Every structure is written in C-alpha cells, then in structure tokens.
Amino acid sequence: MDATNFFSELLKKNKRIIARAISYVESEYPQAEEILKKVHQHSGKAYRIGITGPPGAGKSTITNQLAKHYLQNGKSVAIIAVDPTSPFTGGALLGDRVRMSDIGKVENIFIRSMATRGSLGGLCKKAIDTADILDAAGYDYIILETVGVGQSELDIVKAADTTMVVLVPESGDSVQAMKAGLMEIADFFVVNKCDRPASEQAVNALRTILMLRNHDEKTFLPEIVKAVAQDNLGIKEIALEIKRHQTHLNKFDLLTKKRIQRTKDRIKEIVEEKLTQELWKQENVFSFEQLIEKSFEQKISPYTIADEILNTFKLNLSQKDDNGNTKSISSSV
C-alpha cells in the first residue's frame, strides 16, 4: 500500500492501518514522523480524557464502563492504556463479541495497551503521538489510562482535556494522592469501590482537603463522584462531570489555551530530543572517550568537559558545509 492510500485508510478509521501506524510510533520506525506530520492537521476534534490514580483503584473498570456509555450514545471511543502495573485487557468490551453488538458498532471502539519497553518519558511521548493518530482517525473520545505514580505518567494526563483521579475509600488514600501531586492535575475525583465500608468518610476527608484550595471565577472546582464501577454505578455521573468540565473550558476559552500550552510543551520536547540525538551522533567528532580519560586522569571537572563538548557541537554546526555534512574538527578539542 502506498503512502497516500495508507493515509486515507487511516482517516477512514481502518483499524488495521491505525494499529500499524501506532506500531510504527511505538517502535520508532522512520515512517512514524512522516505519519505524525500528516495526521496533525486532521487532529484536534477528539475530546481527550485522562484517567489516573493508584494501581487497583478501578481505572480500567471505569474506562470500560465509560466507553460503553459513550458507545451506547452513538459515540466512538479509543482507549490508550499505559499502566505497567495492570495492563488493560479490554475486559467485557473485547472478550465478548455478543455483548459488543449490544453496545455499539465494533468499528467504534479501538483499544491499545502500550508496551513499557524503553523509558517512561519516551512512552509518554508515544502515548500522546498515538492520541494524535486516533484523533485524526475520527474517534470522538480518547481515553488515556495511566497509573498515577510517577512524573511521566502524570505528563500523559496533562495531555488530556479533562482528567479524573480515581481513589478508593481506604484510609489515607486522599492524603497519599495529595503527596503524589494528583491533586493539582485532577479536574474531578472519583471515589470508586463505594460498596466498601468507610466510603462516606473518605469522601468527606477528600472534600475537606479540596475546600482548602484557592479559587477564582475561572477555577473549575473539582467535584467528587462516588462510584461502584464494577456494578456500573456512578458512570453516568462521571460522564456528566466530564461534560461539565468541558463546558467550563469552553465558556472561559480555556480549552484553546490548554491546547496551545500543550503544543508549546511538545515542540520543546521534540526539539530537545532532536538536539540530543544530533549531539550524540557527533560523539566521534568531539572524541568522547578521549574527553572522559582527560576528565579522569587530569582531574578536569565533568562540567568543564561538558562545556567543551557543547562548544565543539556549536562550532561544528556553524561549520557544516552546504550539503549539511559535518567537517571533522576533532583537533580543536
């Protein structure tokens, strides 16, 4: 299949092609960048929902139920699950074709668990790239599920338009969440597993913490939704809360602002990555091994060596010939 065909099939929601495009991104194939450049102008229509929280809180269960809810309302949903602690299995959605026909067309759901090889930072970038592909393919909602334990995972939900943090009634969970920086990123909270004892206390404790936050007119005050996701309780309320947040963003023109900020962050990240790649490609030019020896034997500070490397890199860039070829200037170090 040629590139034009591949691309038009992708835009037509051809799942096989979408899956292949995502694999290119995941495996860092050279085609990936070309695809991402092309999909960009077709993306921006989907609404992106982030869902995070501690392992086992019920994120995947909620994702499943929420996806069903949207499907039943005639919407299409793509799920990107980045959770090394419990990979998304698709649960009732994937496992049971008969039930699938109850809830909507099979074409309207796409599920992707992202592998965890490589760095988490890299994975985060890939998850966002994947969201772009699915956005261009025309899914109405993109749900990004990630376990809320590290910075990279939090970065993934920052790529969402609305983010929910899922907690469970166990004592101290809300305090833990605050420590982990989850409070800052939550547009609203879900206290799941409210079939368990002490759920009311947990909700109250969380409410107390939330009341301490400063706010003005433009601040969206996060609500707390109680849920028993495995029994499909609280899911409609979650969908409503997403809608309420979306309406708020639109009212104050915050969605565009959020997306501009996101674009800015991404450009910076991509530039940094490309610069780093370019720099280390020149390893032989600044003869890294020699510099390390120099640092060690002559007791020259790694900071001094780093400056030398950067200066050589800059010099080298300015001395590239018209064909973009690097002149060897290793003698200058």
Ligand X SMILES: Nc1nc2c(ncn2[C@@H]2O[C@H](COP(=O)(O)OP(=O)(O)O)[C@@H](O)[C@H]2O)c(=O)[nH]1
Residues making contact with ligand X (CB under 6 A): 55-61, 86, 192-193, 195-196, 228-230
Handedness of CA 209, 215, 240, 266 (dihedral sign): negative
Binding residue for Mg ion, selected from 35, 39, 50, 60, defined by CB under 5 A: 60
Among 76-84, 163-171, 249-257, 264-272, which window interacts with Mg ion (CB under 5 A)? 76-84
Least CB distance to ligand X at residue 227 (A): 6
193 binds, among ligand X, Mg ion, none (CB under 5 to 8 A by kind): ligand X
Residue 332 DSSP class? G
Strand bridging mode 141-147 / 109-113: unpaired
Closer residue to ligand X, CB minimum distance, 13 or 68: 68
Closer residue to Mg ion, CB minimum distance, 83 or 241: 83
Q: H helices of 199-284, where?
A: 199-211, 235-251, 254-281
- The residue sitting closest to Mg ion, measured at its beta carbon, is 60
Q: Are 114 and 126 in contact (CB under 8 A)?
A: yes
Residue 144 to residue 163: CA distance in whole angstroms: 9
Residue 82 to residue 286: CA distance in whole angstroms: 38
Among 60-68, 97-105, 174-182, 260-268, which window interacts with Mg ion (CB under 5 A)? 60-68
116 part of the interface to Mg ion, by CB under 5 A: no
162 part of the interface to Mg ion, by CB under 5 A: no
Q: Are 297 and 253 in contact (CB under 8 A)?
A: no
Residue 273 to residue 277: CA distance in whole angstroms: 6
86 part of the interface to Mg ion, by CB under 5 A: yes
Nearest to 135 by CA among 45, 248, 70, 227: 45
Among 83-91, 93-101, 110-118, 295-303, which window interacts with Mg ion (CB under 5 A)? 83-91
Among 11-19, 79-87, 103-111, 168-176, which window interacts with Mg ion (CB under 5 A)? 79-87
Which residues of the chain form contacts with Mg ion (CB under 5 A)? 59-60, 83, 86
